[in-house]
Amino acid sequence: MDYPKPYETILLDVANHIATVTINRPEAMNSFTKRMMDECAHLWRAVAEDDDIHVVVLRAAPGRAFSTGVDVKAAQEEGGAVIHHNVFTAADPGEKLGPKMNQCWKPVIAAVHGLCAGGAFYWISECDIVIASEDAAFFDPHVSYGMTAALEPIGLTYRMPLGDVLRMALLGNDERISAYTALRLGLVSEVTKPEDLWARAQSLAETVASKPPIATQGTVKAIWESLDMPRTTALRTALKYCQIGNPIGTAQVDRWALMGKQKKYETR
């Protein structure tokens, strides 16, 4: 697969069917620029088309923040915001940042540390498994700066209770959601010690990568696409994915051999 070597704003490592993607602007709180948006759009399409990749770990360079959203200073220096000023050509930056908007159905595991704010939710909202370290803190500063909080909070309504999304959006800079509150709300599914975060994400990725990739990708696509459909339509559409991903007479694994083994599992 044709990947730039290297990207300028993100790091990519592919090994053992796992793509580890690191947001890499620690000097600017891992905030994103137009360059990063373009690189993410390229990355997700390349990952989607690389059959050697079964799962992605999304993390950020060490420092105070996973990401604080758009780099406002860089946008000003470049002469404008990341969203085009022409209302008829303006586009949501999240269309380039997130895997699902770029039709990438590989499972994505996010490992969040430190501050996670504003535009960072473009990534979090489109990940399949989100874990966080104890020092993680989530908030949306838009309204504090006189900006409408719309795109990121709407994405979060698919992960958190509506009341909690509204509370975060309306309180802006004046309240942060801790890692353990995020766990209670369903924004993350696990909290680790800071020093264990990356290793835990790697462990989860290794487990997912060991599964038949057609099964994992079909599962991700079926569930995410169902969010845009009424229930009955979603169920009927999902049946087609089962038929496509599990063709009759084509075994991806030896099920009976697996069932005969002693089961090893973790309890969460």
103 and 234, same domain (yes or no): no
**For the chain, what is the domain count?**
2
Contact 120, 67 (CB under 8 A): yes
Pairing of strands 177-178, 137-139: antiparallel
CATH of the domain at 99: 3.90.226.10
Residues 202 and 220 in one domain: no
Q: Average pLDDT, stretch 145-172? A: 97
Residues 148 and 242 reside in one and the same domain: no
DSSP state of 26: G
Residues 219 and 188 in one domain: no
Same domain, yes or no: 187 and 245: no
What is the distance between the alpha carbons of residues 75 and 150, in angstroms, rounded to a whole number? 20
Quick one: 129 and 239 in the same domain? no
Same domain, 155 and 177: yes
Residues 183 and 233 in one domain: no
pLDDT per residue over 182-238, tens digit each? 999 999 999 999 999 999 999 999 999 999 999 999 999 999 999 999 999 999 999
| Residue range 82-130, pLDDT digits in tens | 666 677 888 888 899 999 999 999 999 999 999 999 999 999 999 999 9
